[in-house]
């Protein structure tokens, strides 16, 4: 997914230039033995967690989302990494033929994180202004506003007038759709589908 189309609804978008790259030949290679690989992954995870704890959640750092509504902090990076882990865990389960929905609390957080980090942008929306509402069956809802100011994510009040389009599913289904693990038509979509399809195909940094 990381190297596929960088989409605003289903994918990742490029941001500012990343830090200077290190020589990949100097990076340690993952062991092939399964037990050694497990130990290597556990150690790598602890190193990552240790670095995040040492930095603290408010420390500024480079991210690929400078135009989004998410802060460029180590806390936001940790939040995003949780979703990466959740989706890749689903991938691993899928390869074994035993895929499970994402845990509800992680998935609900994942919808909010994706809309804030990936969907939101200050790049002007090039099509007809629109609003897209997203509803989870667990009870939380959001609204994406698409206009000349870009794409903005907001919480949707219970008494809000309906938007131009609405997407509905479990939080897990929404997250998996965002990451292109299930098709868009697996969700319940009502209203004008055109802005949904435009958002899914839009590459604001292209």
Residue 130 lies in a domain: yes
Vertex 149 angle, CA 10 and 193, to 5°? 40
pTM of the model: 0.85
25 found inside a domain: no
Whether 4 shows a pLDDT value over 50: the answer reads: no
Residue 16 lies in a domain: no
pLDDT of residue 28: 74
pLDDT reported for residue 21? 59
Distance of CA 8 to the CA centre of its chain: 9
Assess if residue 44 is contained within a domain: no
Do the strands 141-147 and 150-155 form a parallel or antiparallel pair, or are they unpaired?
antiparallel
| Structural contact between residues 65 and 13, judged by C-beta atoms closer than 8 angstroms | yes
Q: From residue 53, how far is each of 50, 58, 59, 68, 131 by CA, in Å?
A: 5, 11, 10, 24, 38
Report the distance separating Cα 81 and Cα 62, nearest Å: 14
175-192 pLDDT per residue, tens: 999 999 999 999 999 999
Q: Is residue 76 part of a domain?
A: yes
Domain assignment present for residue 156? The answer is yes
Do the domain assignments include residue 12?
no
Angle at 116 between CA 120 and CA 111, to 5 degrees: 120
**Separation CA 115–CA 136 (nearest Å):** 13
Domain membership of residue 32 (yes or no) is no
Structure tokens at 16: 């500012």
Q: Which domain holds residue 172?
A: 56-201
What tokens appear for 10 in the block?
Answer: 């289903």
Question: Backbone phi, then psi, for 58, in 5-degree steps?
Answer: -100, 0
Output the average pLDDT for the chain: 89
Query: Are 9 and 185 contacting, i.e. CB atoms less than 8 angstroms apart?
Result: no
Domain count, the chain: 1
**Using CB atoms within 10 A of its CB, is residue 15 exposed (0-12), middle (13-18) or buried (19+)?**
middle
Structure tokens of 141? 């809802």
Over the stretch 75-123, which tens digit does the pLDDT of each residue have?
Answer: 999 999 999 999 999 999 999 999 999 999 999 999 999 999 999 999 9
Supply the CATH number for residue 178's domain: 3.30.1050.10
Question: Cα–Cα distances in Å, from 77 out to 39, 57, 69?
Answer: 24, 9, 13
């Amino acid at each position: 997914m990381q190297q596929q189309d960088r989409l605003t609804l289903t994918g990742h978008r490029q941001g500012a230039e990343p830090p200077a790259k290190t020589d990949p030949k100097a990076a340690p290679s993952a062991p092939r033995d399964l037990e050694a690989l497990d130990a290597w992954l556990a150690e790598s995870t602890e190193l990552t967690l240790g670095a995040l704890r040492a930095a603290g959640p408010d420390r500024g750092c480079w991210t690929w989302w400078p135009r989004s509504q998410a802060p460029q902090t180590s806390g936001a990076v940790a939040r995003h990494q949780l979703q990466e882990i959740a989706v890749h865990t689903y991938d691993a389960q899928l390869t074994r033929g035993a895929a499970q929905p994402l845990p509800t609390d992680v998935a609900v957080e994942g919808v909010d994180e994706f809309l804030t980090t990936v969907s939101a942008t200050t790049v002007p929306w090039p099509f007809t202004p629109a609003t897209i509402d997203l509803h989870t069956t667990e009870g939380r809802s959001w609204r994406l506003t698409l206009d000349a100011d870009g794409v903005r994510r907001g919480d949707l009040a219970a008494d809000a007038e309906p938007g131009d389009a609405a997407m509905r599913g479990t939080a897990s289904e929404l997250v998996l759709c965002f990451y292109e693990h299930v098709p868009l038509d697996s969700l319940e979509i009502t209203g004008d589908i055109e802005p949904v399809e435009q958002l899914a195909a839009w590459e604001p940094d292209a």
